[in-house]
Amino acid sequence: MKIMHEFDERGRLRLGKVVNGFLLEDEKTVLFLDDHFTIFNKSDYESQLKKLSKSMDLDLYSLTIFSSGESKEYKTDPQGRFLVPQEIRKKAFNEKEVYIIPVEFDGLRSVEVYSKKTYQNLVDKISHQKEMIKGKENEEGRRKD
């Protein structure tokens, strides 16, 4: 499920009822990456960091997400909004509209926020990879025959 939202004139993003129902805590940790950001419940983020610091068996998702960004703690305002820093908006979000995507992976809930362009590039990349895999499977099937 993806949800379209817009930054308001002050650069705030309203998470909405769906997201706030998915991430129940008021205090959030936002991890800013190069082309998008990920929002976690603060306690979930902290417990995941502790888990990762004790484990030598890191999955690629966790390694990528938790080692490559800058995190900041936020409290949403009474309307469920938080301010996205201007330098992040300029760097990753050159447009007002964004996609908000709730994600659950290995029991960890988060919400990923992408610009429309970045989201479409991601969808195109995944589609291309699926086609490549499908082509390789068909080629291997023909070799067996």
93-142 tens-digit pLDDT: 777 888 888 888 877 888 888 888 888 888 898 888 888 888 777 777 66
Whole-number pLDDT of residue 67: 58
Any domain includes 56: yes
pTM above 0.75, yes or no: no
Q: What is the CATH number of the domain that holds 54?
A: 3.40.1550.20
Total tally of structural domains belonging to the chain: 1
Per residue in 24-53, pLDDT tens? 777 888 887 778 888 888 888 888 877 777
Number of H helices, E strands in the chain: 5, 8
Bridge partners (DSSP) listed for residue 3: 100
136 within a domain of the structure (yes/no): no
Within a domain: residue 32?
Answer: yes
**For position 58, what pLDDT does the model report?**
56
Please report the pLDDT score of residue 95 as a whole number.
76
- 50: containing domain: 3-115
